[in-house]
Amino acid sequence: MTAGHRAPRRVGVVGAGMNGLACAWFLQQAGVDVTVVERTDVAAGASWGNAGLLTPALSVPLPEPSVLRYGVRALADPRSPVSVPVRADRDLARFLTRFVAHCTGGRWRRGMAAYRPLNEQALEAFDELARGGVAAPTRVAPFTAACRTEREAEHFAAEIGRVVGAGQAVDVELLTASELRDQLPMLAPSMRMGVRVLGQRAIDPPAYVAALADSVRACGGKIVTGVDVAGVRRDGGKISLATRDGQYAEQFDAAVLASGAWLPELGAAHGVRTPVHGGRGYSFTVDAEHPIPEPVDFPGLRLACAPYRGGVRVTGIMEFQRPDAAADERKFATIRESAAAALTTVDWSSARDHWVGARPVTSDGLPLIGATATPGLHVTGGHGMWGMTLGPLSGKLLAELIVTGRTPRELLPLDPCR
């Protein structure tokens, strides 16, 4: 405990996704009374419709030179899995300008130095939740990148090579066409090479986050849904949450903003000025005669598939759009068209559970985890596509900071006010 620091007795958490609930759970383990407030429902945002892949081997800063080169080409293609509105608003323009500035090799390596200690501890945080009573499993799930050409395979292997070059251990094996077909017979003949990443896991995202919420409640925590927090202020040594309709207002010793793509709206007044934008993903589930046994990435098609409740969940698209904008039905068609060229024995007419959700992406590719400029107010968010993988560890580290007043070394480069 830092000298002079008093651990809070009551903490309010804004957001009932993986990040907010994990932080709440770890705070409870330290004896803190927690109330979680959520504008819609538990796991209603990016925690619901993703593929559920826990892949610390692939958790890296999104801005890097090849993404920039790909993005320039992709924006000219209406069928591209990367999409930006024709008329970018001021906030999006600011975000994209900063994002492009970080697409250099040097900045990626500095960012990867921040990710490495997180990646190395990420799966152990899930084990700790399991030991503490969270009744949802993680399953061993090797992750295979299925490639159409040698060039695609070499590009993916080079991405893994950069992670290894940053000092992170990654166990991979190369698959020939016949080996790929033996393991994943439902792949289309166009898939000719594979790179298999071992040591990864997967979850059923809605079920896992619901179980985490149940555990928070079982430990005495409150989860209040339908509460749209519009502002946060410090008053008399307490943190107050204010709603748009004024129907809910409560004071806490400390508070955590874990509101996903809506983080900028609440955090800007408290020194959180790193641009954050919703990189919206689309997904749906289909039936298959022979469902895939493990997660598969199609790097050349910019989509991923995973086993999901007897079917296949297909995810893709990086759409830089307002988080509350209506879904673009053409994006679902784009994913189906790409996936149909990669998978056989799939009943595309069975598509269901259509979902679009905003993954909060920061302009420098690093999460925002730590204290804000307002005493007692903290943030966890901005994980981009890695919120499932890193959410539990992020919650654990932030809970440690809140309770002890000491910033864990892993959080030093993730300062929300950087």
What pTM value is reported for the model? 0.93
For the beta carbon of residue 149, count every other beta carbon within 10 angstroms: 13
Q: Which helix (H) or strand (E) holds 90?
A: helix 90-101
Beta strands in 23-158, from DSSP E residues, in sequence order? 33-38, 53-54, 82-83, 139-140, 143-147
DSSP 269: G
Residue 88 is predicted with a pLDDT of 62
Question: By C-alpha distance, which of 75, 407, 22 is closest to 221?
Answer: 22
Residue with tokens 């009573």: 133
DSSP 3: T
CA 254 to chain centre: 24
Give CA–CA dist 340/188, Å, rounded. 9
Give CA–CA dist 352/59, Å, rounded. 28
pLDDT tens digit at each of 418 positions of the chain: 777 788 999 999 999 999 999 999 999 999 999 999 999 999 877 777 788 999 999 999 999 887 766 555 554 455 555 666 655 678 888 888 999 999 999 999 999 999 999 999 999 999 999 999 999 999 999 999 999 999 999 999 999 999 999 999 999 999 999 999 999 999 999 999 999 999 999 999 999 999 999 999 999 999 999 999 999 999 889 999 999 887 777 899 999 999 998 899 999 999 999 999 888 899 999 999 888 899 999 999 989 999 998 899 999 988 888 888 888 898 999 999 999 999 998 999 999 999 998 889 999 999 999 999 999 999 999 999 999 999 999 999 999 999 999 999 999 999 999 9
CA 168 to chain centre: 20
Residue 20 is predicted with a pLDDT of 97
Strand 296-298 with 303-308, pairing? antiparallel
Phi, psi of 321 (to 5 degrees): -145, 160
CB within 8 A of 373, min separation 6: which ones? Answer: 270, 271, 417
- HSE toward the beta carbon, residue 271, CA cutoff 13 A: 15
Q: List b or e across 156-167, with b for residues whose CB sees 16 or more CB atoms inside 10 angstroms.
A: beebbebbeebe
Return the percent helix, strand and coil in the chain, to nearest 5.
35, 30, 35
Phi, psi of 300 (to 5 degrees): -70, -20
- Token pair of 275 as six digits: 């641009």
Answer yes or no: are the C-beta atoms of 391 and 22 closer than 8 Å. Answer: yes
List domains and CATH numbers for the chain.
Answer: 10-414 (3.50.50.60)
Helices (H), 102-204: 105-131, 150-165, 177-183
Nearest 10 degrees: Cα torsion 167, 170, 171, 175: -120
Bridge partners, residue 174, by sequence: 195
Amino acid letter at 235? D
